[in-house]
């Protein structure tokens, strides 16, 4: 048991507005208004005793947001002052709710003992100061953070270019883990970059916030804080960064462009401001070179449901399905990887090697995972300690982390030949000094309080001076026990007790029936009445007062000593923070590798072959999320192959990737097929095994996925316009290396409109973008295009018609569907039989007019639409490579004589020689 060390002070008797003439501003209000004026856009938590009070408009906003009572406190210039308050002890909870609702809070503390203020004179006010600004992007408290996600503050700087090609510099920091990244991008890439970083708060200049083009994009972020220009001043950026990192020049830390440095400086300046001078240590900014990650725009992320479903839930997302990590840091790292798949096949292979090691050795995998389960979140513990908000359990976390590093190392050492990534992990785990853990082990008690001020966290026999003070305190407590026995004896009241509470301190308590005796002579000479309750009466004695003072003194001293020890240990930890952080990161890497290996084994995934070709060939592909869902219901997932690789020609592959046009009835599995292929590419590039029996993937530079308007209802803006804007982005941006998924584009408008747009879009993709593409549609007319577009291939999802109903087989095969079976699906869904019958007869009429006929005619009549650049070039004489391909296509081996075959070989050989030049 710990005895409260000090009795909480009552709210300081400061002069309140009520005591003064109505029109005068009291000194306290004066102080309040001054502090408030310095923090205009934040709610001011103004400390008064055990409460943070809010006044005026702040009080009105907060009481509404938190559902707490709005009261009044005195008058200001003749008008009532609205007020509400939150108890300091529970303030984290209230802060959390306010931050979530988009507020920012300035926390203003009492900087001196109220007694000191009183000593200065009756009217003087307790000195107060803002000690911290709480904003969504600068949190460190465990209670305010989600353990499994990073909490990024992002600074966005823009450099104007006269040519119109503005550049954007970005710097993002998670102060709860010390990660610090910078990069630069073109204005057009900003949306995808923001979606990837997914910041909790962004800071920008006022000008950028108000910008007509970029402003709307920024305002879609969860929180944006506009700041004055000086924070984004490029001229002082380097100096501010050097100042923060306490170095003479940034050269040694990292190479950054001027624009990146501007953003980085803005970010650290803002952190400095919000932490009010306490500087959380940050890793040196690490630069993310352009083009090293797969670009994925926000719409694609949303509709592939990478981290959230369209309904906004984590459950049902890809991340949720593949996250088998056992630590919060591992979970954060996996989310980071998923947000930013790589484009360098060597880096991808390095990650895959680590997973392969754990796929091959199941025992090692399980052992490592159980070691990791006991490893605490060291990076967040460190961050809290560094800004003075850490507690004894954070020190214990570091101790346990180092011990876990030893166990992990011992286990990893048994691996045959650890691949480079695991060897790197082992190096990092060796870094933290073992002495530190030993010191913490000696110093920290078994049971630790959450906050250091509760005391009792230093182990006995760690520091003699502390042991001595503690025994003094405990001895005095024994004296109290003896005193109780003595008083009970002297008064003959058996039930007499000496007890303690925060308000009275120690007191003697008897039941009401004995109360009168103690208040009458002779006992009243010893027992001084303090309080009468319904059933009890409470007293104090001179003797008890003395011993109480002794206990309190000893207790205060013991706590003082403990806090000194805490500071010492904290300093030791922070001195080792680089090593500890490296080890923490190594744990996260290890967790992700083991977790992805477990996933691969459990769900039967295969290692993808990733290179820099334009291939995309998946055999036995499955949708990772749908497969898991079906498995839970005991249903099988039908695996499907997909090959978008450039067509074979001669001895190798030439030209660009293919377009697969997928037709088939509703509910057949078209959307699932499209998405599974996008997800397989993405998973391969985060360096994970994939749900397939074989996958050969040429690195994808950009991934695009679009769904026709009607599927987009969940986002609440299902307009055809949105669909078209998004399609425009693809047609303008997709390159030969991109992978494009288009699901029923064009269906948000009238049939012929939609068909025409889809038609033109496919031609453009084939001739201009030349990207690997999957296109699902109900416009069966489009299948006719394959006659003209050489790299277009028709596929369909098989169904069986059985007694007028459809049976879905979910098999993707070459060919095209002649109908959508919409009416059969409607029947399955329970539309009234009369409606079904009527629909059938209408359909029969329409089919008689045969739109398909028209389409086939169109393919013949319409020249390929007038695409400018590349298509024009293609209309020109065919290239050698194409001649070669045509020559091969023209061969009919079964009808050739040996001699003809030999001649053909010579012809091909000579064409190939020309093509190779
Ligand atoms: P479509 O886009 O053709 O209308 P969906 O892709 O939305 O069809 O699939 C409809 C349902 O069929 C899915 O929710 C899923 O449960 C099931 N499904 C799709 N593909 C498969 C598959 N390959 N194996 C098993 N079930 C599947
Ligand atoms: Mg669909």
Q: How far is CA 582 from the centre of its chain?
A: 20
pLDDT at residue 875 in the model = 45
CA of 639 to the centre of ligand 1 (A): 11
Residue 519 token pair = 């208040």
- The rounded radius of gyration (Å) of the Cα atoms in the chain is 36
Q: How far is CA 869 from the centre of its chain?
A: 42
pLDDT at residue 589 in the model = 97
Q: Which of 608, 584, 585 is nearest to 596 (CA)?
A: 608
Q: Which atom of ligand 1 is nearest to the CA of 674?
A: 6
- Give the Cβ contact number of residue 797 at 10 Å: 25
Q: Whose CA is nearest to atom 16 of ligand 1?
A: 626
What's phi and psi for 694, nearest 5 deg?
A: -160, 140
CA of 689 to the centre of ligand 1 (A): 23
- Are 767 and 759 a contacting pair, CB within 8 Å? no
Element of type H or E holding 915: helix 898-915
Among the bound ligands, name the one nearest to the CA of residue 825. Answer: 1
Identify each DSSP E strand in 305-462 by its residue range.
none
Write the CA distances from 406 to 371, 424, 587, integer angstroms: 10, 15, 12
Instruction: Dump the DSSP string for 55-74.
Output: EHHHHHHHHHHHT---EEEE
Q: Which atom of ligand 1 is nearest to the CA of 808?
A: 12
Residue entry with tokens 């639409």: 865
- Are 263 and 169 a contacting pair, CB within 8 Å? yes
Q: How far is CA 529 from the centre of its chain?
A: 60
Q: How far is CA 211 from the centre of its chain?
A: 27
Please give the Cα distance from 383 to 402 (Å, whole number): 16
- Are 647 and 886 a contacting pair, CB within 8 Å? no
pLDDT at residue 78 in the model = 84
Residue 540 token pair = 């104090």
Q: Which of 280, 478, 232 is nearest to 381 (CA)?
A: 280
Identify each DSSP E strand in 727-851 by its residue range.
739-743, 772-776, 792-802, 805-814
Q: Whose CA is nearest to atom 13 of ligand 1?
A: 669
Identify each DSSP E strand in 273-318 by its residue range.
286-287, 295-296
Element of type H or E holding 722: helix 720-733
Among the bound ligands, name the one nearest to the CA of residue 710. Answer: 2
Is residue 24 helix, strand or coil? coil
Please give the Cα distance from 545 to 279 (Å, whole number): 44
**Protein residues placing their CB within 5 Å of the ion ligand 2:** 671
pLDDT at residue 853 in the model = 62
- Give the Cβ contact number of residue 878 at 10 Å: 12
Q: Whose CA is nearest to atom 17 of ligand 1?
A: 669
CA of 810 to the centre of ligand 1 (A): 7
Ligand 1 pocket, mutate which of 305, 626, 811 (most atoms under 8 A from CB): 626
Is residue 355 helix, strand or coil? helix
What's phi and psi for 801, nearest 5 deg?
A: -95, 130
Q: Which atom of ligand 1 is nearest to the CA of 812?
A: 23
DSSP 8-state class, residue 639? P
Q: Which atom of ligand 1 is nearest to the CA of 623?
A: 23
Pocket of ligand 1 (CB under 6 A): 626, 630, 637-638, 640, 664, 666-672, 810
Residue 498 token pair = 């000496």
Please give the Cα distance from 105 to 98 (Å, whole number): 8
Pairing of strands 536-540, 528-532: antiparallel
Phi-psi region of 291 (alpha: psi -120 to 50; beta: other; left: phi over 0): left
pTM higher than 0.85? no
pLDDT at residue 10 in the model = 36
870-894 tens-digit pLDDT: 444 344 556 777 778 777 877 777 7
What b-and-e string marks burial along 753-765, b requiring 16 or more CB atoms within 10 Å of the CB? ebbebbbebbbbb
pLDDT at residue 46 in the model = 96
Q: Is the dihedral of CA 189, 195, 196, 201 positive or negative?
A: positive
CA of 638 to the centre of ligand 1 (A): 9
Write the CA distances from 87 to 103, 347, 412, integer angstroms: 18, 51, 49
Please give the Cα distance from 232 to 285 (Å, whole number): 17
Q: Which atom of ligand 1 is nearest to the CA of 672?
A: 6
- Are 761 and 731 a contacting pair, CB within 8 Å? yes
pLDDT at residue 862 in the model = 59
- Is the previous residue joined to 333 through a cis bond, with omega within 30 degrees of 0? no
Q: Whose CA is nearest to atom 6 of ligand 1?
A: 669
What's phi and psi for 880, nearest 5 deg?
A: -55, -45
772-830 tens-digit pLDDT: 999 999 888 888 888 888 899 999 998 887 777 778 889 999 988 877 677 777 777 77
- Are 107 and 94 a contacting pair, CB within 8 Å? no
Element of type H or E holding 116: helix 114-120
Please give the Cα distance from 360 to 369 (Å, whole number): 15
What's phi and psi for 201, nearest 5 deg?
A: -155, 140
Q: How far is CA 428 from the centre of its chain?
A: 24
Is residue 576 helix, strand or coil? coil
Ligand 1 pocket, mutate which of 304, 628, 641, 667 (most atoms under 8 A from CB): 667
CA of 442 to the centre of ligand 2 (A): 62
Please give the Cα distance from 181 to 170 (Å, whole number): 8
CA of 376 to the centre of ligand 2 (A): 43
Write the CA distances from 417 to 352, 358, 413, integer angstroms: 15, 12, 9
What's phi and psi for 881, nearest 5 deg?
A: -60, -40
Please give the Cα distance from 420 to 412 (Å, whole number): 13
CA of 786 to the centre of ligand 2 (A): 22
Q: How far is CA 48 from the centre of its chain?
A: 36
Count Cβ atoms within 10 A of the Cβ of residue 839 and give its class: 0-12 exposed, 13-18 middle, 19 or more buried. middle
Phi-psi region of 448 (alpha: psi -120 to 50; beta: other; left: phi over 0): beta
pLDDT at residue 704 in the model = 95
- Give the Cβ contact number of residue 403 at 10 Å: 18
- Is the previous residue joined to 871 through a cis bond, with omega within 30 degrees of 0? no
State which residues of the chain have pLDDT below 50.
1-13, 15-21, 651-652, 711-716, 865-875
Count the helices and strands in the chain (H runs, E runs).
Answer: 32, 29
Please give the Cα distance from 508 to 528 (Å, whole number): 9
pLDDT at residue 114 in the model = 82
């Amino acid at each position: 048991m710990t005895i409260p060390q000090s009795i909480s002070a009552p709210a300081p008797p400061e002069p309140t507005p009520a005591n003064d003439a109505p029109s005068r501003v009291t000194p306290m209000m004066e102080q309040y208004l001054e502090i408030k004026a310095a923090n205009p856009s934040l709610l001011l938590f103004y400390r008064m005793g055990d409460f943070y009070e809010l006044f005026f408009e702040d009080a009105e906003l907060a009481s509404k947001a938190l559902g707490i009572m709005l009261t009044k406190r005195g008058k200001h210039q003749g008008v009532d002052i609205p007020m509400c308050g939150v108890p300091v002890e529970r303030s984290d909870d209230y802060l959390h709710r306010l931050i979530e609702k988009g507020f920012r809070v300035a926390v203003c503390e009492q900087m001196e003992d109220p007694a000191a203020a009183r000593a200065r004179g009756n009217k003087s006010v307790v000195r107060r100061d803002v000690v911290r600004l709480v904003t969504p992007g600068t949190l460190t408290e465990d209670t305010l953070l989600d353990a499994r996600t990073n909490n990024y503050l992002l600074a966005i700087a823009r450099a104007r270019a006269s040519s119109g090609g503005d550049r954007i510099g970005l710097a993002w920091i998670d102060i709860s883990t010390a990660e610090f990244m910078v990069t630069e991008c073109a204005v057009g890439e900003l949306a995808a970059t923001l979606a990837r970083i997914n910041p909790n708060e962004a800071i920008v200049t006022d000008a950028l916030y108000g910008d007509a083009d970029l402003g709307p994009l920024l305002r879609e972020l969860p929180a944006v804080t506009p700041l004055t220009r000086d924070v984004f001043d490029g001229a002082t950026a380097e100096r501010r960064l050097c100042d923060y990192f306490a170095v003479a020049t940034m050269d040694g830390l990292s190479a950054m462009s001027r624009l990146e440095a501007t953003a980085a400086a803005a970010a650290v300046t803002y952190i400095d401001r919000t932490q009010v001078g306490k500087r959380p240590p940050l890793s040196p900014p690490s630069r993310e070179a352009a083009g090293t990650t797969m670009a994925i725009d926000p719409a694609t992320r949303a509709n592939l449901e990478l981290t959230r479903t369209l309904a906004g839930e984590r459950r049902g997302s890809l991340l949720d399905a593949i996250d088998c990590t056992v630590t919060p840091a591992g979970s954060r790292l996996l989310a980071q990887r998923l947000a930013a798949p790589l484009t360098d096949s060597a880096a991808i292979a390095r990650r895959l090697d680590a997973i392969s090691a754990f796929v091959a050795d199941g025992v090692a995998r399980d052992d490592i995972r159980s070691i990791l389960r006991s490893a605490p979140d060291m990076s967040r513990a460190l961050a809290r300690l560094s800004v003075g908000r850490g507690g004894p359990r954070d020190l214990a976390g570091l101790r346990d982390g180092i011990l876990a590093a030893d166990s992990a190392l011992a286990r990893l050492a048994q691996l045959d030949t650890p691949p480079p990534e695991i060897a790197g992990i082992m190096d990092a785990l060796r870094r933290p000094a073992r002495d530190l853990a030993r010191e913490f082990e000696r110093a920290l008690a078994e049971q630790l309080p959450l906050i250091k001020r509760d005391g009792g966290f230093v182990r006995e026999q760690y520091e003699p001076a502390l042991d001595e003070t503690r025994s003094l305190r405990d001895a005095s407590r024994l004296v109290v026990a003896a005193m109780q026995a003595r008083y009970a004896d002297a008064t003959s009241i058996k039930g007499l007790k000496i007890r303690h509470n925060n308000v009275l301190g120690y007191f003697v308590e008897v039941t009401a029936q004995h109360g009168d005796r103690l208040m009458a002579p002779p006992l009243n000479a010893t027992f001084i009445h303090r309080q009468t309750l319904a059933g009890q009466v409470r007293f104090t004695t001179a003797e008890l007062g003395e011993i109480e003072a002794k206990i309190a003194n000893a207790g205060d001293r013991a706590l003082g000593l403990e806090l000194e020890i805490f500071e010492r240990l904290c300093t030791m930890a922070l001195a080792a923070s680089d090593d500890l952080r490296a080890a923490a990161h190594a744990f996260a890497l290890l967790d992700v590798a083991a977790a992805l290996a477990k996933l691969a084994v459990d769900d039967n995934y295969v290692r993808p072959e990733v290179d820099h070709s334009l291939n995309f060939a998946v055999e036995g592909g499955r949708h990772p999320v749908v497969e898991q869902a079906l498995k839970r219901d005991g249903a099988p997932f039908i695996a499907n192959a997909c090959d978008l690789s450039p067509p074979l020609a001669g001895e190798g592959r030439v030209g660009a990737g293919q377009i697969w046009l997928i037709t088939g009835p509703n509910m057949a599995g078209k959307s699932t097929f499209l998405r599974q292929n996008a997800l397989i590419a993405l998973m391969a590039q985060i360096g994970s095994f994939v749900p397939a029996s074989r996958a050969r993937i040429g690195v994808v530079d950009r991934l695009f996925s679009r769904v026709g308007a009607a599927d987009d209802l969940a986002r609440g803006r299902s307009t055809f316009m949105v669909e078209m804007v998004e399609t425009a982005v693809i047609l303008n941006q997709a390159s030969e290396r991109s992978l494009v998924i288009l699901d029923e584009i064009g269906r948000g408008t009238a049939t012929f409109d939609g068909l025409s747009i889809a038609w033109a879009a496919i031609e453009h993709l084939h001739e201009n973008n030349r990207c690997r593409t999957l296109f699902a549609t109900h416009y069966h007319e489009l299948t006719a295009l394959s006659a003209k577009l050489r790299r277009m291939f028709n596929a369909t999802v098989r169904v069986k018609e059985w007694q007028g109903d459809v049976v879905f087989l979910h098999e993707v095969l070459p060919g095209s569907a002649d109908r959508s079976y919409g009416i059969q699906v409607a029947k399955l869904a329970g539309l009234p039989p009369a409606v079904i019958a009527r629909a059938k007869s209408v359909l029969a009429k329409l089919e008689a007019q045969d739109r398909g006929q028209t389409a086939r005619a169109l393919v013949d009549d319409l020249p390929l639409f007038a695409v400018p650049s590349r298509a024009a070039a293609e209309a020109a004489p065919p290239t050698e490579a194409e001649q070669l391909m045509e020559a091969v296509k023209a061969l009919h081996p079964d009808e050739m004589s040996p001699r003809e075959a030999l001649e053909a070989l010579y012809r091909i050989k000579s064409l190939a020689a020309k093509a190779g030049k």
